[in-house]
Amino acid sequence: MDFEEAADALYAAPAADFIATRNELAKQLKADGDQLGSTRLKALRKPTVAAWLTNLVSRERPDEIDDLLALGDEFREATADLDGERLRELTPKRHQAIDTLVKAAGELAGEHGQKISADVGQKLRETLDAALVDPAAGDAVREARLSSALRHVGFGVVDENGEPSNVTPLTDERRQRAKDRRTKAREVETATADEDEAESTAQRKAREKAEREAEERAAAEKAEAQREFEAAVKAAETAEETVEDLDAQLTDAQEALDHAREEVRRLTAELDEAKKVAREAQKQSREARKRYNRL
């Protein structure tokens, strides 16, 4: 098992068992020789109920999640084209897709013995909407390893209820203007490419040198970051070993203390018994002396 498999298994576990599962999987990775993976896994956060529910839906309903993200692609395309009519056509589909997933989430939660509050349901809805709107959020939802619910603000052409806002249907004239703008943009890109091709040899070499230097700096920074990360991992390993050693010492000391207490109890009992025998012997000695004196 590698880190990716362990992370998937961790976020697929019941929310109540997250900590225990994380510790067990981290221990397994460490036993397999993957100390870095073990340390990374221990750093993963326990998901909130809304995040756990989103992860559950993503694992159990992957096709519906993909349909939601594909719908998001259509929204972005229509937005780029300023196609208000298309946006209005897509909006009901957006609501329907999210409603379907929220309903499925409620059923899945019930199968897992988890009750869903109105607040959790709203956070799930916001997370699914964020996945539709933002590609990065969509990738995070599809990965099914969220630790927190997501929320997107400011889609630009829809209001907070998901309805088109400040978007009007495209007339033929507006459509032609939009087409002309795209044509002009392509011409600018072509002209820029021609200008780049026309650069002098000296300019090209200077640019290439600057790029190489930038790459070298980036490589150096990356190497330094890697060294710092490895040092941090090593420090974490050392701290973990120290904790384990102190824990073992504490266990030994506790056992020694328990043994000493048991020995004290035994010696105390023996002392009490010895005192009792001594008193009885003294009593018998006094009685014997009295009988001797009477003779």
Average of per-residue pLDDT across 84-90:
90
- pLDDT band, very low/low/confident/very high, at 30 (cuts 50, 70, 90): very high
Percent of the chain with pLDDT over 70: 79
Given a contact cutoff of 8 angstroms between Cβ atoms, the answer to whether 106 and 56 are in contact is no
**The predicted structure's pLDDT at residue 153:** 65
**Res. 35: pLDDT tops 50:** yes
**Res. 158: pLDDT tops 60:** no
Gap between the Cα atoms of 93 and 101, Å rounded: 12
Higher pLDDT, 77 or 222: 77
Average of per-residue pLDDT across 112-127:
90
**Res. 257: pLDDT tops 60:** yes
- pLDDT band, very low/low/confident/very high, at 157 (cuts 50, 70, 90): very low
Gap between the Cα atoms of 36 and 58, Å rounded: 27
> How many other C-beta atoms can be found within 10 angstroms of the C-beta atom of residue 135?
13
* Mean pLDDT score across all residues of the chain: 80
Average of per-residue pLDDT across 125-151:
88
Average of per-residue pLDDT across 7-12:
91
Write out the H or E segment, with its range, that includes residue 152: none
Q: Please report, for residues 165, 246, 267, 269, the alpha-carbon distance to residue 257 in angstroms, rounded to integers and kept in the order given.
A: 74, 16, 15, 18
**Res. 184: pLDDT tops 90:** no
Higher pLDDT, 95 or 264: 95
User: Structure pTM?
Assistant: 0.52
**Res. 238: pLDDT tops 50:** yes
Gap between the Cα atoms of 92 and 162, Å rounded: 9
- pLDDT band, very low/low/confident/very high, at 186 (cuts 50, 70, 90): low
Higher pLDDT, 162 or 26: 26
Average of per-residue pLDDT across 132-144:
88
**Res. 171: pLDDT tops 50:** no
Gap between the Cα atoms of 137 and 139, Å rounded: 5
Of 83-97, 168-182, 183-197, minimum mean pLDDT range:
168-182
Q: Which residues contact 62 (CB under 8 A, 6 or more apart)?
A: 142
**Angle between helix 84-111 and helix 118-133 axes, rounded to 10 deg:** 140
Average of per-residue pLDDT across 7-25:
91
Higher pLDDT, 4 or 162: 4
Q: Which residue is listed with tokens 């790459």?
A: 215
